[in-house]
Amino acid sequence: MNQYLDISPEVKTALDAGKPVVALESTIISHGMPYPKNVETALLVEQTIRENGAVPATIAVIGGRLKAGLSREEIEYLGRTGRGVAKASRRDLPALVARKADGATTVATTMIIAHMAGIGIFATGGIGGVHRGAEVTMDISADLEELAQTPVMVVCAGAKSILDLGLTLEYLETKGVPVIGYGTEELPAFYTRQSGFGVDYRVDSPEELAAMFRTQRALGYRGGMLVTNPIPAEYAMDKALIDAAIEQALCDAKAQGIHGKETTPFLLARVVELTGGDSLESNIRLVLNNAMVAAQTAKALCG
């Protein structure tokens, strides 16, 4: 085991017994939602995973230790501290660990730590991707590179609709990352169920997802698998409404000089404001839906 890694007793017991475990990120706690909604949501996601037969392993960096499985007190700490906790991507881990600092893990770093711990399935909201205007800014999320090199299945509601979805799919294709639609042939766009872009394969059951991932690993592929699970229809937002909010948020970000890793948290928070909080409720519901699918798939993978 990595010398900097701490696996909680509950998660370690489950892994040693070959029981299903699902990893969860912590950026959504510290940077994705306001307190106390962030803590309530994190605990509800863990509960959803348990109700579907798996053990949750929320991941973060605390005091320079890579944590796979957080206590309720640690989740509360991340939620209360909010953006006072560093947003930690791949490049940040060595510095945070060396300085014994705290970090909320993105998709990329959650994948890294999950793989270290032996956890193969990870549920999140939406992945990062190629930002709009990336042909000029070169702003491309490290999440995509991690999917290309770390063998973890990521269950999400597609790429965040603040991104350039077409270029994100092209990038994933170049890197050889299979994009699977769970019950859909069209890439979901986080707040909405349709994007106008197709996925590589449609899968309709956790058992089929598990079989595909098991085969990918048996073939010796080093990369991961992206499962895109549409937001439940009753919580999906009107496409015209959310597109207008995103365009306004993008204009605001440009006017305020927001860039780099602050871009996504700013845009998501601004969209929440512009939609009167409706997008936050949609965000919560899609995360719970992804947690359910991930837990069922982890259970099938262990079966």
**CA quadruple 216, 217, 218, 219: dihedral sign:** positive
- Residue-level pLDDT at 1: 62
- Three-state helix/strand/coil letters over the chain: CCCCEEECHHHHHHHHCCCCEEEECCHHHHCCCCCCHHHHHHHHHHHHHHHCCCEEEEEEEECCEEEECCCHHHHHHHHHHHHHCEEECHHHHHHHHHCCCCEEECHHHHHHHHHHHCCCEEECCCECCEECCHHHHCCECHHHHHHHHCCCEEEECEECCCECHHHHHHHHHHCCCCEEEECCCECCECCECCCCCECCEEECCHHHHHHHHHHHHHCCCCCCEEEECCCCHHHCCCHHHHHHHHHHHHHHHHHCCCCHHHHHHHHHHHHHHHCCCHHHHHHHHHHHHHHHHHHHHHHHHHC
Q: Which two tokens stand for residue 147?
A: 């999917």
> Which pair of structure tokens corresponds to residue 221?
């592929």
The question of whether 254 is a catalytic residue gets the answer no
Catalytic residue (one of 25, 46, 76, 146) = 25
Q: Which candidate in 67, 87, 160, 299 is catalytic?
A: 160
Which stretches of the chain drop beneath a pLDDT of 50? Answer: none
Q: Does the annotation mark 262 as catalytic?
A: no
Instruction: Say if residue 219 is exposed, middle or buried (CB neighbours under 10 Å; 0-12, 13-18, 19+).
Output: exposed
Domains and CATH numbers, the chain: 5-238+282-302 (3.40.1790.10)
pLDDT single digits (tens) 11-65: 999 999 999 999 999 999 999 889 999 999 999 999 999 999 999 999 999 999 9
Reported as a single tens digit per residue, the pLDDT across 205-214 is 999 999 999 9
Are 294 and 121 a contacting pair, CB within 8 Å?
Answer: yes
